[in-house]
Every structure is written in structure tokens, then in C-alpha cells.
Structure 1
Amino acid sequence: MGTYQLKYTMKCMLAVALITFCGPSLAEVVVRDDTGATVRLPEPARRIVTLAPHLVETLFAAGAGDKLVGTVHYSNFPEAAKTISRVGSYDRFDLESVVALKPDLIIAWLSGNVPASLDKLRALGFPVYVSQIDRIDDVPSEIERFSALAGTSEIGNAAAKRFRERFARLQQRYSKLPPVRTFYQIWKQPLMTVGGKQIISSVIRLCGGENVFEQLETLAPAVTIEAVIAANPEAIVASGMGESRPEWLDDWKRWASITAVVRENLFFIHPDLIQRHTPRLLDGAELLCQQLETARRRRPHG
């Protein structure tokens, strides 16, 4: 697994946000970011630089993709994102490249970008909006905030509404079902999972699952094989780093005492559908909900 993918997977924290969008398209825009800071623009942004791949996806969902002039490596969705100028990586972007693009708004990632680099951008006079969401149900609020910043609220509000409706349908269908104890595996060496505050844990809860490492405070903690065996998950879900099911998922078959192994509940979800804080999280959630429902059906009767 590449250093970028592993570090990118591990990032994520709590977000609380408030939107205030005043007046017509050329009016001042005032939006509170996820750190509680107020970002003011004299008018909706026209030249936006994002400093994380998942922020690009959400901006496109908000109807503001055509306002993006710069982003970082691995910003690969939607297809149009691949043509946007790169300014480096999320954890090591090039300050001069950002400045050269003359953005009127920079959208940053709290737990991914280097704070000192963001401070330099602010010192140069660039408005910096800092994003950080921690639950799947925070996604529609972010869509609304991004669309407010870009003056595309009609599109963004509609997208947020669709997200909330789809989320509510999944919640109604799955969240009250008998719980499935779930181990989510990010990677093999080191063996890594997600703690209770990581956004994937909120997806597991949406599907009526229980993260067996919910009690861990770290977002992406390392655990031992012995700890997984002791937790005895009913389902093991892995992501890996691409479209293919990771070979190491089947390594669990050597531990026949684990319920997930006995019942063949070893599942895979493409990492981009569940490890990015974007509207596509609902696609990953639907897959996970179906997988946990499979685990329920495989329970012994009687």
C-alpha cells in the first residue's frame, strides 16, 4: 500500500458547521467552517483550490466543479477532476503553485494538511475554508456549504436533499436490525482498523453493525491478530487500495475460531466508496448494509 493511501485512509475528525449565505450571486458570502472560523468572500468564489481529493468530489456534487483551478494528487473523481492542475500532495503541496493559480478561495483539510502551510496561505491574504467531517450524515451539510461558497446553492441544496433522503431510507431499513459485530480492516501490515470516531464507524452503525473496536479513540489504530480473535467479529470487511479484493482478506481463514471465518463473512468494498468523505459514501454504505444483511442470513436457525 502506498504511503499516500495509508495516510489518507487514517485521516478524519469531528465537524460541526453553520451556513449563512446572504443575497444574490454577487452578494457577500459568509460561511462558518468546521473549525468554527468564519470565512467571508465579497462574492461567490470563481477560482477554487482544494487540498485533498475528497474535497474535489464534494465540490463537483455541489455544482462547483467548473470553478476548480487547482487540486492535489489522487483527485480522480469524477472524470473531469483528472484534468485539473496539480499543486502537489495533500500533505506536501507547493505553496508557489497555489499562489500562481490566483485562487479566491482555498478549501483545506483539517487532519490532512500541514497547519503551518495553511497559515502561510492566510498570511498571503487567501481565504481558507477548513473542512473536516466525521459522520456520514455530515456530508449533505458540507455539500450545502460548498455550494454557498461557490454560488451554486440551487444545485448543492438539491444534491444535499437527495443525499438525506437516500440516507434516511438506509437508516430506516437497516439501523434497527439485529446488530452484526464487524471488524473493518484497512490494511494488513501493520494490521489497522478504524476507531469509533472514524467516519467508517458511522457507516457501520447506519447498517446496524457494531465496530468491534468502537471503543478506541484513535482514528486508524493498529491492532493485533490476537485482539481480533478475542473480539470474534461476525463479519470482516476489508478495503485495500484498489478495485481488486485484497488477497490478505483470505488470510483470516487460518483462524477457524472466528465467527466471520466459520460463516464465510469475509467482505470487500472498494476504498474510494467508503474511505473518502464524499457523497459516494452512500454507495459504500449500501454495499456494507447488504453485506451485513448477508451475515444475518447466515446465522444458524433454531
Structure 2
Amino acid sequence: MKVRVAAMLALGLGGLAASAHAVQITDDRGKTFEFKAAPQRIVSLLPSLTESVCALQQCHRIVGTDRYSNWPASVNQLPKVGGGVDPNIEAVVALKPDLVLMSTSGRGRDRLEALGFTVVAMEPRRLADAERVLKTVGAILHVPPEQGAERTWREIDAAVEAARQSLPERVKGVRVYFEVSRGPYAAGEKSFMGEILTRLGARNVVPASLGPFPRLNPEFIVRANPDVIMIGNRSMQEAATYPGWGAMKAVREKRVCSFDAAESDVLVRPGPRMAEAARLMARCLADKAP
């Protein structure tokens, strides 16, 4: 995705020249858009995109979100229009947005575009994607980079580095398995979560060759025999029933971090709260590493 700001000149009546600034962006589908002004009515159908808009101090432009967007707390008061896989098109249309933000895998995009709505699709999977998406959202909203996206990203990067420096030496090289959701679906080395773990000095038992978020056979994790397991508490109750998991040393020795629902939201969203995600992972590693 490329972001570029182009200055465009428009001729006024009577031969007078006036200048207007337009922003051109390309979304993750390769589709290019031009925004002559910042959108004023945004519907966001992906929590990380909702959080990105709000982190840029533009939350007031959001008029509706998906059912999972719950941060900051103010968005809970907004109309909910379904989820990324089952958006309520009629509800979106009723909000009269001048921009719809959604993931590339979200449904309803073609129908919304056919109805004349501007739909920008973005789906960050790696840290570089998350940085690029944040800068793209900032450009769309006409927020100066030094006041928004660049500053926010510097804060995220500094927080990850601080988390790394806070860890004891024994954490270096500890082998970690991170379960994203029931399946099991894991965070691989190529995911933003996997990249944060690597920066913290841990080793991911799910190799990059399997992709960012692969679905695994539970026996794969048993054979990998991680030193530490990170998992959402909703999934952990079911994970205990995976074949062979009870025999894993990490499970027997209680080297499992079971994150609550709020913490899980922070950890699985590639957005501005990744600084907090790094601190949660670092705390787990410090507490549970053998």
C-alpha cells in the first residue's frame, strides 16, 4: 500500500487560481482513492481500524462500528452494524457514511461500493503492515504525520524496546506457543504478535513457513513442546481438551498465561495498543519462563 500526498491546483472563476490539497492512497486491494477533504462520517468494520482512527484523535468522525470494536470506551455508545463477516448493509447505509473502513476479507464490500459508498480495505498482519495502515489512516484523515501516525508509531516502537530491556536474561531463547483462537489457530513468526515475541527475545515454535496465523493440528504443539504457552482464557478452557496437552511440561508446570477477554483484545489487534500488548507478553515471559 502506498501513501502519497499530492498538491493539486484548481482554477477559480474569472481566471483566479486557488489551491486545494488532495490525498491519494492505495488500499490492500490495490485500489487507489483520492480524498480532497477528510471524511466526516466513518463506519469502521474492524476493531484495529477503529482504534487507529481514535489514536489519531479523530474518534469523533466515527458514526458506527462493528460489534467487536470496544476501545476506547466511547465507541461502545455508537451504533453497531454487525461484524466484518456479517455486516448489516442496511444499517451501514442508514448511517450515510462518506467512508467505510473494513478488512480485505470482510463481506459486503462489493454491495456497498455498488451503492456508491467509498470503501477502503486494509488488513494488517505484520508490524510493517500495522505501521503502514496507521499512516494511511492518518493521511486519509488529513492528520499531519508528525502529529499523528509517526508520533504514535514511535511510541509503540519505544514501548516494545522498553519491554525487551525489562526482561531478565533467562527469557532469551524461551520457546513460546501463542494461540490466537480455538482451532487451534496460532500466531506464527510472520504475524505481528510473532514479531513482537521475537523482539522480546523469545522463540516461536510456529515457523514462518506456516504463515502468519495457521490452523494447526493439536499434536503439532505437543511435539513442539513449548516452554511457555500464551492463550486467551476463552480458548484455554477448550485447549485443555486437546489430545495430549495434559502431558506437556508447560501445562503440567503451569507455565501457561491465560489472558482475560480485555487483554486478549489488546493482544490480537494490530493497532495502536501494541505497546500494551508487548508489556503483557513481557510480563508473561518474566513470570513463566523456566
TM over 0.5: yes
Cα displacement string for residues 51-72 of structure 1 (whole angstroms, at most 9, x for unaligned residues): 1222211110122111011211
- 2:48 maps to 54
Equivalent of 2:254, from 250, 259, 264?
Answer: 264
Equivalent of 1:178, from 160, 172, 182?
Answer: 172
Query: Is the CA contact 2:55–2:272 (under 8 Å) kept in the aligned structure 1?
Result: yes
2:188 counterpart letter in structure 1: G
Shift of 1:217: 3.1
2:216 counterpart letter in structure 1: A
- CA 1:103/1:255 → structure 2, altered by over 3 Å: closer, same or farther? closer
Query: Is the CA contact 1:135–1:202 (under 8 Å) kept in the aligned structure 2?
Result: yes
SS class of match (1:21): strand
TM-score of the superposed pair, with normalisation by structure 1: 0.78
- CA 1:77/1:43 → structure 2, altered by over 3 Å: closer, same or farther? same
TM-score of the superposed pair, with normalisation by structure 2: 0.81
CA RMSD of aligned residues (A): 3.0
Query: Is the CA contact 1:235–1:259 (under 8 Å) kept in the aligned structure 2?
Result: no
Shift of 1:232: 1.2
Equivalent of 1:34, from 28, 32, 38?
Answer: 28
- 2:13 maps to none
21-30 or 89-98, larger mean C-alpha shift: 21-30
- 2:4 maps to 20
Query: Is the CA contact 1:39–1:128 (under 8 Å) kept in the aligned structure 2?
Result: no
Cα displacement string for residues 106-142 of structure 1 (whole angstroms, at most 9, x for unaligned residues): 111113x12xx21222223322211111123433332
Cα displacement string for residues 167-203 of structure 1 (whole angstroms, at most 9, x for unaligned residues): 34445666x9631111122455x44433343332222
Q: Mapping of 1:21-100 within 5 angstroms?
A: 21-22=5-6, 27-100=21-94
Q: Partners in 2 of 1:262 and 1:88 — Cα distance?
A: 40
- 1:206 maps to 199
Equivalent of 2:97, from 94, 100, 103?
Answer: 103
Equivalent of 1:148, from 123, 139, 149?
Answer: 139
- 2:190 maps to 197
> Which ranges in structure 2 are unaligned for 5 or more consecutive residues?
9-18
- CA 1:171/1:32 → structure 2, altered by over 3 Å: closer, same or farther? farther
- CA 1:246/1:201 → structure 2, altered by over 3 Å: closer, same or farther? same
Structure of higher CA gyration radius: 2
SS class of match (1:93): coil
2:172 counterpart letter in structure 1: P
- CA 1:191/1:44 → structure 2, altered by over 3 Å: closer, same or farther? closer
Shift of 1:273: 1.5
Shift of 1:161: 2.8
Q: Partners in 1 of 2:177 and 2:285 — Cα distance?
A: 11
Cα displacement string for residues 67-103 of structure 1 (whole angstroms, at most 9, x for unaligned residues): 0112111211111111112222221112222222221
- CA 1:247/1:97 → structure 2, altered by over 3 Å: closer, same or farther? closer
- 2:15 maps to none
Query: Is the CA contact 1:195–1:221 (under 8 Å) kept in the aligned structure 2?
Result: no
SS class of match (1:56): helix
Cα displacement string for residues 261-296 of structure 1 (whole angstroms, at most 9, x for unaligned residues): 455321123211211122212212212123224444
- CA 1:54/1:249 → structure 2, altered by over 3 Å: closer, same or farther? same
- 1:221 maps to 215
Q: Partners in 2 of 1:273 and 1:290 — Cα distance?
A: 14
SS class of match (1:97): helix
Q: Partners in 1 of 2:236 and 2:224 — Cα distance?
A: 22
Q: Partners in 1 of 2:269 and 2:79 — Cα distance?
A: 21
- CA 1:251/1:96 → structure 2, altered by over 3 Å: closer, same or farther? closer
Does residue 292 of structure 1 match 2:276? no
Aligned residue pairs total: 272
- 1:273 maps to 266
2:82 counterpart letter in structure 1: G
